[in-house]
Amino acid sequence: MSVENEKEIQQLKNRIRELADKSYNQNQYTFTGFLGLAEQDALWQVEREVKFAGITLYGGREEAERKLLRFGSEAELGYEQPFPICFIRIRPLSAKFADKLSHRDYLGALMNLGIERCKIGDIIAEDHKALIFVKEEMAEYVTDNLTQIRHTHVKATIGTGVQVDYEPRYEELKGTVSSIRLDSVLALAYPLSRSKITSQIEAGKVFVNGKLITSNGYRLKENDIISVRKMGRIAYNGILSETKKGRYMISVRKYI
């Protein structure tokens, strides 16, 4: 990690501490912006210091990767305050002439509007359409100003209700491993040598449930979500059976 990144993470830790104290002392909910995986790991590094204020992470849907951190709980404060998250639907005005837009295209268009990264959550791009999660305060600004992405003219509308009608696509993979170690499970999901997988882990590119893991021998638990930077995410479903030779038949979901 560079000195600049270390400084940013330290500033984030201080901000997390401040928000926890504010929530507790002023008896109110407090929120961060959307946190990426490295930023969520900063939370787990100071978790013991701030858990007194009540910690909840949510990104607008169960499978979200980028999430808001909320301090406060209904049990302590006596009321529930929802997360200030909106989802926006993006559709081309003419599907016939639409470019095939990527996650990077949508993110770049939002950043070009002057929107900070912490105001933007997950972006789900699929079949010329997209769902974009944003801080509530930015929703109208996005729908008023996001009219074109690359050469494609688009229409942005604020989603209604609390349910997002999107089911993530995934491929189910099954295979045998000698143990439920992080490197073994990743080797099943990705066509890489064990040494390359180990280097990815040791380089700080692998997160389990939002926590940075740098040990290739880390033991996974059922339903753990593993994210590998620039490679995607998988979910470890668990052990299906054990072979006579003591190996484990396991199942994972590899998100497409």
**Distance in angstroms (rounded) separating the CA atoms of residues 37 and 64:** 11
**Distance in angstroms (rounded) separating the CA atoms of residues 69 and 206:** 21
Give Rg (Cα) of the chain.
20
Q: Is 150 exposed, middle or buried (0-12, 13-18, 19+ CB in 10 A)?
A: middle
Cβ–Cβ under 8 Å, residues 77 and 26 = no
The HSE-up count of residue 171 (CA atoms within 13 Å, CB side) is 9
- How many other C-beta atoms can be found within 10 angstroms of the C-beta atom of residue 153? 12
Predicted pLDDT at 164: 63
Higher pLDDT, 2 or 206: 206
Q: Please give the distance of CA 69 from its chain centroid, rounded to a whole number.
A: 12
Predicted pLDDT at 160: 67
Tokens of residue 118, six digits: 């912490």
Name the residue type at position 167.
Answer: E
pLDDT in tens, 29-61: 999 999 999 999 999 999 999 999 999 999 998
Q: What is residue 96's DSSP assignment?
A: G
Predicted pLDDT at 31: 98
**Distance in angstroms (rounded) separating the CA atoms of residues 173 and 201:** 21
- How many other C-beta atoms can be found within 10 angstroms of the C-beta atom of residue 216? 18
| Alpha carbon distances (Å) from 45 to 126, 145, 225 | 35, 38, 19
Predicted pLDDT at 200: 95
**Distance in angstroms (rounded) separating the CA atoms of residues 182 and 215:** 8
Predicted pLDDT at 1: 54
Q: What is residue 213's DSSP assignment?
A: -
pLDDT in tens, 12-34: 999 999 999 999 999 999 999 99
**Distance in angstroms (rounded) separating the CA atoms of residues 190 and 210:** 20
Predicted pLDDT at 157: 96
- How many other C-beta atoms can be found within 10 angstroms of the C-beta atom of residue 91? 15
Higher pLDDT, 2 or 44: 44
Cβ–Cβ under 8 Å, residues 237 and 223 = yes
SS3 label, residue 236:
strand
Of 106, 60, 117, the residue nearest 84 (C-alpha): 60
